[in-house]
Structure 1
Amino acid sequence: MNPRPAPTTVVRWPDRARPDRRGPAGLLAAYHLRTQAEKGEAVAGVDDLPERYRAEVADPRTAFAGDVVLLAVAGDTDLGCMVLTAPADGVAEIKRLWTDPAHRGRGVASALVRAALAEAAASGVATLRLSVWDWRGDAIALYERLGFVPAASHDPRPRLLYMSRPV
Protein backbone atom coordinates (compact mmCIF):
# COMPACT_ATOMS: atom_id res chain seq x y z
CA MET A 1 0.00 0.00 0.00
CA ASN A 2 1.36 3.42 -0.99
CA PRO A 3 1.37 6.05 1.73
CA ARG A 4 -0.73 9.13 1.11
CA PRO A 5 1.27 11.99 -0.36
CA ALA A 6 1.92 14.92 1.94
CA PRO A 7 -0.60 17.74 1.46
CA THR A 8 0.32 20.44 -1.03
CA THR A 9 0.99 23.89 0.35
CA VAL A 10 2.06 27.02 -1.49
CA VAL A 11 4.86 29.16 -0.07
CA ARG A 12 6.59 32.33 -1.17
CA TRP A 13 10.20 31.86 -2.16
CA PRO A 14 12.64 32.56 -0.75
CA ASP A 15 11.01 31.07 2.32
CA ARG A 16 12.27 32.66 5.53
CA ALA A 17 10.90 29.74 7.51
CA ARG A 18 12.82 27.27 5.33
CA PRO A 19 15.95 29.01 4.04
CA ASP A 20 17.37 25.60 3.05
CA ARG A 21 14.67 25.12 0.40
CA ARG A 22 16.32 24.77 -3.00
CA GLY A 23 13.96 27.10 -4.80
CA PRO A 24 12.57 27.07 -8.30
CA ALA A 25 15.75 26.60 -10.40
CA GLY A 26 15.19 22.92 -11.18
CA LEU A 27 11.52 23.46 -11.92
CA LEU A 28 12.31 26.44 -14.15
CA ALA A 29 14.92 24.38 -16.02
CA ALA A 30 12.36 21.65 -16.69
CA TYR A 31 9.77 24.24 -17.78
CA HIS A 32 12.11 25.95 -20.25
CA LEU A 33 13.55 22.71 -21.67
CA ARG A 34 10.04 21.31 -22.24
CA THR A 35 8.80 24.57 -23.77
CA GLN A 36 11.75 24.77 -26.18
CA ALA A 37 11.08 21.18 -27.27
CA GLU A 38 7.37 21.87 -27.76
CA LYS A 39 8.25 24.88 -29.91
CA GLY A 40 10.37 22.59 -32.10
CA GLU A 41 13.59 24.14 -30.77
CA ALA A 42 14.79 21.32 -28.50
CA VAL A 43 18.13 21.90 -26.80
CA ALA A 44 20.46 19.43 -25.09
CA GLY A 45 20.45 21.16 -21.72
CA VAL A 46 20.15 24.37 -19.75
CA ASP A 47 23.42 25.74 -21.16
CA ASP A 48 21.83 25.71 -24.63
CA LEU A 49 18.72 27.69 -23.64
CA PRO A 50 18.37 31.29 -24.81
CA GLU A 51 20.24 33.63 -22.45
CA ARG A 52 17.15 35.11 -20.78
CA TYR A 53 15.97 31.63 -19.77
CA ARG A 54 19.45 30.51 -18.65
CA ALA A 55 19.53 33.59 -16.40
CA GLU A 56 16.24 32.59 -14.74
CA VAL A 57 17.54 29.10 -14.02
CA ALA A 58 20.98 30.24 -12.86
CA ASP A 59 19.75 33.00 -10.55
CA PRO A 60 15.98 33.12 -10.07
CA ARG A 61 16.38 35.53 -7.14
CA THR A 62 17.85 38.18 -9.45
CA ALA A 63 15.75 37.30 -12.50
CA PHE A 64 12.53 37.75 -10.55
CA ALA A 65 13.58 40.53 -8.17
CA GLY A 66 10.45 42.51 -7.35
CA ASP A 67 8.15 39.67 -8.40
CA VAL A 68 6.53 37.03 -6.19
CA VAL A 69 7.83 33.50 -6.70
CA LEU A 70 5.51 30.80 -5.43
CA LEU A 71 6.44 27.17 -4.79
CA ALA A 72 3.98 24.34 -4.32
CA VAL A 73 5.51 21.91 -1.85
CA ALA A 74 4.65 18.68 -0.10
CA GLY A 75 6.97 18.03 2.80
CA ASP A 76 10.49 18.50 1.44
CA THR A 77 9.46 18.03 -2.20
CA ASP A 78 9.02 20.96 -4.58
CA LEU A 79 6.03 20.10 -6.80
CA GLY A 80 5.62 23.21 -8.91
CA CYS A 81 6.35 26.89 -9.26
CA MET A 82 4.93 30.12 -10.60
CA VAL A 83 5.97 33.74 -10.87
CA LEU A 84 3.56 36.60 -10.25
CA THR A 85 4.97 39.78 -11.72
CA ALA A 86 5.06 42.99 -9.77
CA PRO A 87 1.87 44.99 -10.36
CA ALA A 88 1.94 47.76 -12.96
CA ASP A 89 -1.09 50.00 -13.52
CA GLY A 90 -3.32 47.59 -11.60
CA VAL A 91 -2.25 44.54 -13.63
CA ALA A 92 -0.04 41.60 -12.67
CA GLU A 93 0.89 38.60 -14.78
CA ILE A 94 1.27 34.89 -14.11
CA LYS A 95 4.46 33.50 -15.63
CA ARG A 96 6.33 30.21 -15.58
CA LEU A 97 3.54 28.06 -14.14
CA TRP A 98 4.99 24.55 -14.01
CA THR A 99 4.11 21.37 -12.19
CA ASP A 100 6.62 18.53 -12.09
CA PRO A 101 5.05 15.85 -14.35
CA ALA A 102 5.39 13.26 -11.56
CA HIS A 103 2.98 15.32 -9.45
CA ARG A 104 0.36 16.34 -12.00
CA GLY A 105 -3.30 15.60 -11.37
CA ARG A 106 -3.05 16.51 -7.67
CA GLY A 107 -4.29 20.11 -7.87
CA VAL A 108 -0.81 21.65 -7.75
CA ALA A 109 -1.37 24.12 -10.60
CA SER A 110 -4.79 25.09 -9.23
CA ALA A 111 -3.26 25.76 -5.83
CA LEU A 112 -0.57 27.95 -7.40
CA VAL A 113 -3.08 29.98 -9.42
CA ARG A 114 -5.34 30.45 -6.39
CA ALA A 115 -2.35 31.61 -4.34
CA ALA A 116 -1.47 34.06 -7.12
CA LEU A 117 -5.03 35.42 -7.05
CA ALA A 118 -4.77 35.90 -3.28
CA GLU A 119 -1.37 37.62 -3.62
CA ALA A 120 -2.72 39.86 -6.38
CA ALA A 121 -5.77 40.83 -4.33
CA ALA A 122 -3.58 41.64 -1.32
CA SER A 123 -1.44 43.88 -3.56
CA GLY A 124 -4.43 45.82 -4.89
CA VAL A 125 -4.21 44.32 -8.38
CA ALA A 126 -7.39 44.72 -10.41
CA THR A 127 -6.57 42.34 -13.28
CA LEU A 128 -4.49 39.21 -13.51
CA ARG A 129 -3.31 38.16 -16.96
CA LEU A 130 -1.25 35.37 -18.48
CA SER A 131 -0.04 33.94 -21.74
CA VAL A 132 -0.18 30.27 -22.68
CA TRP A 133 0.88 28.35 -25.78
CA ASP A 134 -2.17 27.21 -27.73
CA TRP A 135 -1.03 23.55 -27.67
CA ARG A 136 -1.26 23.41 -23.88
CA GLY A 137 -4.89 22.35 -23.74
CA ASP A 138 -4.81 21.17 -20.12
CA ALA A 139 -3.43 24.51 -18.95
CA ILE A 140 -6.00 26.45 -20.98
CA ALA A 141 -8.81 24.34 -19.49
CA LEU A 142 -7.47 25.01 -15.98
CA TYR A 143 -7.36 28.76 -16.58
CA GLU A 144 -10.89 28.73 -17.98
CA ARG A 145 -12.14 26.79 -14.92
CA LEU A 146 -10.56 29.47 -12.73
CA GLY A 147 -12.34 32.31 -14.55
CA PHE A 148 -9.78 33.44 -17.13
CA VAL A 149 -11.11 34.50 -20.52
CA PRO A 150 -9.40 35.34 -23.82
CA ALA A 151 -7.74 38.76 -23.86
CA ALA A 152 -6.05 41.02 -26.39
CA SER A 153 -2.50 40.07 -27.32
CA HIS A 154 0.44 42.11 -26.07
CA ASP A 155 3.13 39.92 -27.66
CA PRO A 156 3.58 39.22 -31.39
CA ARG A 157 4.66 35.55 -31.06
CA PRO A 158 2.32 33.24 -33.01
CA ARG A 159 0.38 30.56 -31.12
CA LEU A 160 0.62 32.44 -27.84
CA LEU A 161 -2.82 32.99 -26.33
CA TYR A 162 -3.64 35.68 -23.81
CA MET A 163 -6.11 35.39 -20.99
CA SER A 164 -7.12 37.59 -18.09
CA ARG A 165 -9.59 37.86 -15.24
CA PRO A 166 -10.52 40.42 -12.64
CA VAL A 167 -9.05 39.76 -9.21
Structure 2
Amino acid sequence: MAIVNEYKLSNKWNFYIHLQDEDDWSFTSYHNIHTIDNVEQAVLLSDEINFDLIKKTMIFIMKNDVKPMWEDPENKQGGGFSFKVHNKNIEYVWKKLFFMLIGNTLSKEHEYINGISVSPKKSFCIVKVWMKDCKHINPIILANIEYMDKVGCLFKKHVS
Protein backbone atom coordinates (compact mmCIF):
# COMPACT_ATOMS: atom_id res chain seq x y z
CA MET A 1 0.00 0.00 0.00
CA ALA A 2 2.80 2.44 0.80
CA ILE A 3 4.15 2.24 -2.75
CA VAL A 4 0.79 3.22 -4.27
CA ASN A 5 0.46 6.14 -1.82
CA GLU A 6 3.84 7.45 -2.97
CA TYR A 7 2.41 7.83 -6.46
CA LYS A 8 -0.97 9.30 -5.52
CA LEU A 9 -2.31 12.04 -7.77
CA SER A 10 -3.41 15.30 -6.18
CA ASN A 11 -6.90 14.77 -7.66
CA LYS A 12 -9.13 11.88 -8.56
CA TRP A 13 -9.89 11.70 -12.33
CA ASN A 14 -12.91 10.00 -13.88
CA PHE A 15 -12.76 8.52 -17.38
CA TYR A 16 -16.15 8.75 -19.14
CA ILE A 17 -17.35 7.83 -22.59
CA HIS A 18 -20.45 8.99 -24.44
CA LEU A 19 -21.42 7.02 -27.52
CA GLN A 20 -21.51 9.01 -30.77
CA ASP A 21 -24.95 7.77 -31.80
CA GLU A 22 -26.52 8.41 -28.38
CA ASP A 23 -29.21 11.12 -28.48
CA ASP A 24 -29.67 11.25 -24.70
CA TRP A 25 -27.43 13.90 -23.11
CA SER A 26 -28.54 13.34 -19.49
CA PHE A 27 -25.86 12.22 -17.04
CA THR A 28 -27.05 8.61 -17.27
CA SER A 29 -25.90 8.52 -20.91
CA TYR A 30 -22.27 9.06 -19.85
CA HIS A 31 -20.49 5.86 -18.83
CA ASN A 32 -17.86 6.14 -16.10
CA ILE A 33 -15.32 3.56 -17.24
CA HIS A 34 -12.63 4.06 -14.63
CA THR A 35 -11.52 6.33 -11.78
CA ILE A 36 -7.83 7.17 -11.54
CA ASP A 37 -6.13 8.38 -8.37
CA ASN A 38 -2.54 7.20 -8.79
CA VAL A 39 0.16 7.11 -11.45
CA GLU A 40 0.03 3.33 -11.88
CA GLN A 41 -3.69 3.42 -12.80
CA ALA A 42 -3.03 6.28 -15.22
CA VAL A 43 -0.26 4.38 -17.02
CA LEU A 44 -2.41 1.24 -17.24
CA LEU A 45 -5.36 3.21 -18.63
CA SER A 46 -3.16 4.98 -21.15
CA ASP A 47 -1.67 1.66 -22.30
CA GLU A 48 -5.12 0.07 -22.67
CA ILE A 49 -6.81 2.82 -24.68
CA ASN A 50 -7.54 1.73 -28.21
CA PHE A 51 -7.13 4.78 -30.42
CA ASP A 52 -9.88 3.59 -32.73
CA LEU A 53 -12.13 4.23 -29.71
CA ILE A 54 -11.00 7.86 -29.56
CA LYS A 55 -11.87 8.29 -33.24
CA LYS A 56 -15.38 6.85 -32.73
CA THR A 57 -16.50 7.73 -29.19
CA MET A 58 -16.58 10.92 -27.14
CA ILE A 59 -14.23 10.60 -24.19
CA PHE A 60 -13.85 12.73 -21.09
CA ILE A 61 -11.41 12.89 -18.19
CA MET A 62 -12.97 14.96 -15.41
CA LYS A 63 -11.57 16.07 -12.05
CA ASN A 64 -12.97 14.71 -8.79
CA ASP A 65 -16.78 14.77 -8.90
CA VAL A 66 -17.19 17.17 -11.83
CA LYS A 67 -19.61 15.73 -14.37
CA PRO A 68 -18.79 15.97 -18.11
CA MET A 69 -21.70 18.35 -18.68
CA TRP A 70 -21.87 22.13 -19.05
CA GLU A 71 -24.74 22.19 -16.54
CA ASP A 72 -22.64 20.77 -13.70
CA PRO A 73 -22.26 23.46 -11.00
CA GLU A 74 -18.45 23.25 -11.36
CA ASN A 75 -18.69 23.90 -15.13
CA LYS A 76 -21.65 26.26 -15.36
CA GLN A 77 -19.66 29.50 -14.97
CA GLY A 78 -16.79 28.23 -17.08
CA GLY A 79 -16.01 27.40 -20.65
CA GLY A 80 -13.56 25.50 -22.75
CA PHE A 81 -10.61 25.85 -25.05
CA SER A 82 -11.33 24.05 -28.30
CA PHE A 83 -8.65 22.66 -30.62
CA LYS A 84 -8.95 20.85 -33.95
CA VAL A 85 -6.55 17.87 -34.08
CA HIS A 86 -6.13 15.67 -37.16
CA ASN A 87 -6.81 11.96 -36.59
CA LYS A 88 -3.22 11.03 -37.45
CA ASN A 89 -2.02 13.13 -34.48
CA ILE A 90 -4.71 12.35 -31.91
CA GLU A 91 -2.86 9.50 -30.20
CA TYR A 92 0.19 11.69 -29.56
CA VAL A 93 -1.94 14.67 -28.42
CA TRP A 94 -4.15 12.51 -26.21
CA LYS A 95 -1.23 10.95 -24.32
CA LYS A 96 0.54 14.28 -23.79
CA LEU A 97 -2.67 16.05 -22.75
CA PHE A 98 -3.79 13.24 -20.45
CA PHE A 99 -0.53 13.02 -18.50
CA MET A 100 -0.11 16.79 -18.30
CA LEU A 101 -3.69 17.11 -17.02
CA ILE A 102 -3.42 14.52 -14.25
CA GLY A 103 0.07 15.70 -13.32
CA ASN A 104 -1.09 19.33 -13.01
CA THR A 105 1.44 20.50 -15.61
CA LEU A 106 -1.01 21.49 -18.37
CA SER A 107 -1.10 25.01 -16.94
CA LYS A 108 0.25 27.04 -14.05
CA GLU A 109 -3.46 27.76 -13.53
CA HIS A 110 -4.23 24.01 -13.24
CA GLU A 111 -6.66 24.53 -10.36
CA TYR A 112 -9.06 26.14 -12.87
CA ILE A 113 -9.03 23.11 -15.19
CA ASN A 114 -11.94 20.69 -14.69
CA GLY A 115 -11.08 18.20 -17.39
CA ILE A 116 -10.54 17.41 -21.04
CA SER A 117 -12.63 15.86 -23.78
CA VAL A 118 -12.19 14.48 -27.27
CA SER A 119 -15.07 14.54 -29.77
CA PRO A 120 -14.42 12.64 -32.99
CA LYS A 121 -15.37 14.03 -36.39
CA LYS A 122 -14.69 12.52 -39.82
CA SER A 123 -10.95 13.18 -40.27
CA PHE A 124 -10.18 15.11 -37.08
CA CYS A 125 -11.14 15.40 -33.43
CA ILE A 126 -12.18 18.38 -31.34
CA VAL A 127 -10.08 18.43 -28.19
CA LYS A 128 -11.37 20.59 -25.35
CA VAL A 129 -9.88 21.75 -22.09
CA TRP A 130 -12.73 22.45 -19.66
CA MET A 131 -12.27 25.48 -17.39
CA LYS A 132 -14.23 26.08 -14.16
CA ASP A 133 -14.60 29.82 -14.84
CA CYS A 134 -13.92 32.41 -17.53
CA LYS A 135 -11.04 34.24 -15.82
CA HIS A 136 -8.53 32.59 -18.14
CA ILE A 137 -9.70 32.69 -21.76
CA ASN A 138 -6.36 33.07 -23.52
CA PRO A 139 -4.85 29.71 -24.57
CA ILE A 140 -1.40 31.06 -23.73
CA ILE A 141 -2.02 29.76 -20.17
CA LEU A 142 -1.85 26.19 -21.50
CA ALA A 143 1.40 24.32 -22.04
CA ASN A 144 2.45 23.87 -25.64
CA ILE A 145 1.56 20.49 -27.10
CA GLU A 146 2.63 19.67 -30.63
CA TYR A 147 -0.36 19.46 -33.05
CA MET A 148 -2.59 21.50 -30.69
CA ASP A 149 -2.30 24.83 -32.47
CA LYS A 150 -3.16 27.78 -30.21
CA VAL A 151 -3.56 30.04 -33.25
CA GLY A 152 -6.78 28.25 -34.23
CA CYS A 153 -7.95 27.74 -30.64
CA LEU A 154 -11.36 29.06 -29.61
CA PHE A 155 -12.66 29.69 -26.09
CA LYS A 156 -16.38 29.21 -25.68
CA LYS A 157 -18.37 29.96 -22.52
CA HIS A 158 -20.59 27.11 -21.35
CA VAL A 159 -23.53 29.38 -20.50
CA SER A 160 -24.15 32.64 -22.32
Q: Do the two structures share a fold, i.e. TM-score over 0.5?
A: no
More helix by share: 1
More strand by share: 2
Relative contact order (C-alpha < 8 Å, sep 6+): which is higher? Answer: 2
Q: Which has the larger radius of gyration?
A: 1
What's the TM-score once normalised by structure 2's chain length?
A: 0.32
What's the TM-score once normalised by structure 1's chain length?
A: 0.31
